[in-house]
Structure 1
Amino acid sequence: MGKPHELSTQDAYRLTIEKHQSRVGALSRVLALQMGFGDHEVSLIADAAVLHDIGKVFVPTTYMQKPGPLSEREKEVVRQHPIWGYTILSQCSNTTQHLAAIVALQHHENWDGSGYPYGLSGAQISQEARIVSICDVYDALRDDRPYRAGMTHKHALEVITQGDGRTKPSMFDPAVHEAFLACSSELSRVFATS
């Protein structure tokens, strides 16, 4: 049995997910403000963003903490989390959870149609999900992962603006991308303090 202050692997993973979700909510708030949304809409987007990865509760922890590449089967399972998140959140009837269901379903869809689970593109993807998507990518790039160390703000911006083979600028709504870059200093501050 570990020392009282040590977290189990499961607890450490849960804490990592909670921090990621919270930061994506805070980052989405900043970006939505930058894009001119009103206070009520900004709050809805930020609250929905916090729930974007809720479907990962059904993904085995070992997949999410794997230090190397996922197998094709493991990728297939992980790519179901938007559908599972939508299924959970669509059972609720309040406005925030309705929006959260859409964001959960669409946050891995890409402007250029290269995303999942349905390969939606352009305006087929809700604007709120387009905002959460770029914030999710930014946070994932900055955060430490089992398979790599987190990037600096500057490096993450380079990946988002120039691509790295996995991430491409064409994945993002151009208007959201432009607003993201315009408030990138604030986003960096939010990441560092969240």
Structure 2
Amino acid sequence: MGHELFDLEPRFKRDLEPQEMLRVIFDYAAKIAKERILDNVLMLMADMGRDMIVSDRCTVWLLDTKKNELWSKVAHGVDEIRIPSTAGLVGYAVTHDKAVFIDDAYTNDEYKPYLVNGALRTDQQTGYRTKALMVIPFRNNEGEIMGAYQAINKMTTNEQFSVKDMEYLTLAASYAGKSLESALLTHEIEETQKEIIFTMGEIGESRSKETGNHVKRVAEYSYLLALGLGMSQEEADLLKMASPMHDIGKVAIPDDVLKKPGKLTDEEFKIMQGHTLIGYNLLKNSNRHILKTAAVVAHEHHEKWNGRGYPQGLKGDEIHIYGRITAIADVFDALGSERVYKKAWELDRILNLFKEERGEHFDPRLVDVFFEQLPAILRIRNIYSDDNLEEHSV
């Protein structure tokens, strides 16, 4: 992380000097203050604690009061772990509001009841061997316990944490509680926005007798295509949140057109095309980044690379990349789904069409990315599959 710790032996490090400690704290405080994505804040918190006390691993646990669980996505080297809120040493620390400080988790008699079959619960899940360990609960601004810092295995020659280490980790925990409260609020707002957007997207689809799984699949396909194209994680997440709104304009299409089981007349087709402009006009005046993106998607997901799409007849790079990505995701899902007026296409037929439409309907680069991402796309289709869907996809 830019804080050099000189080896005493190949695998050992030394404790930080006071000026190095200050540099670590100031560097991480600046990074954390700028970060709004919860997972990134948690990772920075874990890195800060690890660097401050020279531990091998540091985990930030959060208390999920609804599920009575402790969870972490930032146990170094592993994916998300969830445990009962009373389980293990971290559960003990949080439940009893008491810091845990031990030299060897497997020989310490006081905490032996919190081992599972002679091992730490998380060690059982990860195969890791915990020796020295500290757990420090942290609180929000209301004084409520919201989680805990857990540091594992001191990396200096004596391999034991000191009282000074506990003071430093307690300082980090105090800072974590205050910083995480803001990040959690932002996260909650974003999750609420996602829920609203998916619900609105489902409303648009349900009027035409399609389930919400269509918008889920389109969202996931769009996300995979965005990442495959080289977009940043942040932009791919943004498109994933916005793409479910692509057909929101269908809420204003008359039932006799929207739900017609047979082929549309030219006049009816023109009415159906209006859902792109309706959706755009519904969303375009929002100041929210997600909804602005959704407005672009709603407006341009029926444009074609060759300029023969609608509503504006845009061509090539004139079409926003969000519209081009959602177009592929939407068409792939529509063709592979059964409708009252058609059977679902076989996969080979769809893939042949995509090859034929490379550079015609679809951005050629995105068609290439689609085929690169096809195994993951098919997994998503299987996860969110549904049967007997009835909807016009125009």
Task: Report TM bin, short chain.
Answer: 0.7 to 0.9
Amino acid at match of 2:302: H
Given that 1:153 and 1:188 are in contact with CA atoms closer than 8 Å, whether structure 2 keeps it comes out as no
Equivalent residues in 2 for 1:34-113 (5 A)?
A: 34-113=228-307
Alignment gaps of 5+ in structure 1: 1-10, 163-167
- 2:323 and 2:211 mapped to 1: Cα distance? 19
By relative contact order (CA 8 Å, sep 6+), the higher-ranking structure is 1
The structure 2 residue matched to 1:153, chosen from 339, 343, 347, is: 347
The structure 1 residue matched to 2:324, chosen from 97, 120, 130, is: 130
Alignment gaps of 5+ in structure 2: 1-204, 385-394
More strand by share: 2
The structure 2 residue matched to 1:115, chosen from 287, 298, 309, is: 309
- Indicate the RMSD between aligned Cα atoms, in angstroms: 1.8
- How far has the Cα of 1:39 moved from its partner? 1.2
Are 1:19 and 2:210 matched, yes or no? no
Equivalent residues, number: 180
Q: Cα gap change, 1:81/1:67 in structure 2, threshold over 3 Å: closer, same or farther?
A: same
Q: Deviations over 1:19-52 (max 9, x none)?
A: 2222111110111111121111011111111111
Q: Cα gap change, 1:20/1:69 in structure 2, threshold over 3 Å: closer, same or farther?
A: same
Secondary structure at the counterpart of residue 161 of structure 1: helix
What's 2:368 paired with? 178
- 2:211 and 2:244 mapped to 1: Cα distance? 10
Q: Cα gap change, 1:29/1:44 in structure 2, threshold over 3 Å: closer, same or farther?
A: same
Q: Cα gap change, 1:151/1:121 in structure 2, threshold over 3 Å: closer, same or farther?
A: same
**Could you state the TM-score of these two structures normalised by the residue count of structure 1?**
0.86
Task: After the TM superposition, list the runs of 4 or more consecutive aligned residues in structure 1 that deviate by more than 3 angstroms.
Answer: 11-15
- How far has the Cα of 1:60 moved from its partner? 2.3
- 1:59 and 1:100 mapped to 2: Cα distance? 19
Given that 1:33 and 1:42 are in contact with CA atoms closer than 8 Å, whether structure 2 keeps it comes out as yes
Q: Please say which structure displays the higher CA radius of gyration.
A: 2
More helix by share: 1
- 1:39 and 1:64 mapped to 2: Cα distance? 36
Amino acid at match of 1:177: V
